[in-house]
Chain A
Amino acid sequence: MRFLLDDEQREFARSLDKMLGGAEPTAAIRAWAAGDTGPGRALWARLAEAGVFALAVPEEHEGLGLLPVELAVSFGELGRHAVPGPLVETVAAAALLARLGGPVAAARLPGIASGRTAASLCLLSPGSPYALDGDAADAVFVVDGDTLRLAESTGPVQPSSDPARRLSRPVGGTVLRQGPEVVAAAAHAAEVAALAVAAQALGVGRALLAQTVEYVGGRKQFGVAIGSFQAVKHRLADTLIALEFAEPLVHAAALALAPGDPGSRSGFGSGRAVAAAKVAACEAAYAAARSALQLHGALGYTEELDLSLWIRKARALRTAWGTPAECRARVLAR
């Protein structure tokens, strides 16, 4: 057993962090929220160049995957920089199409791997009536029971509590595939999506903690840094604890999704492993958001401060691709 990221995986994370940090993502986030997807798509192209989307596409379709550990590593960095767009939905759609195979996969997967295609995915039941960033995506896939459709269009945008998440209902479309294999592929896609959200949430939480640690170290009241007060320290210590203990759950969930995983001997198959990771990571990120908001005082409650972009994302990710209650029920499922 070597339950640690290897040097190459850590270097991959560092290079993405560096690339995203230098790309002024907050400007892209605010533009995306306002309906201008140009800067976001430019970032998308760079992520594709770095190989992020190819991680979910099989080699036979010009990808590298499925490589769930690398996927989790990269989504951690996407969360850390609050990158906008249907990132999770694109890799989940790739997982769905790859599992189905056939002409649909051959037609769509190379575009996803190369970054030409930003896809959205909507699993109607159980799931959500909305497609994330359906208006900006090049293809919106919809699974309704045993039927996979390519939506014709999307309805009006329903603003999310995270301004960078643009939700809309898919409308109409053509049937691409029908049968029990769609149900199975959708279940697999939902696990990949939940893993990606969990990893993303972990990155969001790490960013919130880092920004808050920096703030309380500099902000002075009563003549000293507020970060020297135990009430502040202990809240941030708890924030770190939750994130640190969620991370190995995310890594284990990634291993459970790796092709050919023997199905972990501790009884945590991919469904349970992903659900556990999703709850722990999203709860940790949400708690980090609450701490960040509280410890920044009134400043943290402003839209103007970029911190709000992470705070609001943490809230949205909590219920995206599996509510806390659904995930907890899955952890206990036999």
Chain B
Amino acid sequence: MDLLVVLSFEALKAVASLALISVGLSIIFGMMRVINLAHGEFLMLGGYAAIVATKAGINIWVATLLISPIVVGVIGVVIERTIIRFLYGRPRDTMLATWGLSLLLVGLATTVFGNTTEGISAPAGSLQIGDYRIAAYSLIIIVIAVAVFAAIWAVFRFTRYGLIARSTMQNADMAAALGVNPSRVYAVTFGVGAGLAGLAGGVMAPITGIVPTIGAAYVAKAFITVIGGGPAILAGTVSASVMFGAIDQIITYLSTPVIGEVALLAAAVVLLRFMPQGITGRFFRRAA
């Protein structure tokens, strides 16, 4: 019984981390049709922002939950203005340019921080469940993921920015005719997506530690989740995270984490064979 609780808790944590590291990518792809191959590097920058801030004596919660997203969000806006905006409507070129960006950021981080793993210790202790102990930080990740998704949903559903962003996503020309400046909406949206990636990077930093090349560890999972999820941003990311997170966790429990990731990829490829539009392309078509 206790083992079951621990295992489902671990599965829930896997789902939450998957959703958290994918949501920034999902927003940028879902709203702007931009595949951001530098997503993993945004996570990496978020992690470094959290570590540098914490080492400078700032409270760890402020560092991970505020400084990481703000720093990476600002970087995102700058990148959108200098590179991405010249490439709208050319998805292939965008991918190539963001891949170049990914290499560039890895190189930059290696130059600045050196090629060593840096870390901060995870705050909060552990929880006792029967004979097992689990890290309380896992619980915090789940809470943060739920809060982030609730916040995104509320922003899209109830605020003026959400309305403008959704309308621009549906029809940029019509939105422009009604007085919206799509260029600014794109810049802000890219910044929000980057900021969420930064937040995820900051939140994951105490668990994984940070090296300049850590982005590669995240991107594969994040891309599988976003592609498997399909067009609806929130419903897609959540449904794909639940499915892939569960597969990953079950196979990992039965064998090794590496086999778990292979199963994740195989599941995604087979899924795409039968649902090329992803889960939400097939089901819940009207979801946000």
B is a partner of A: no
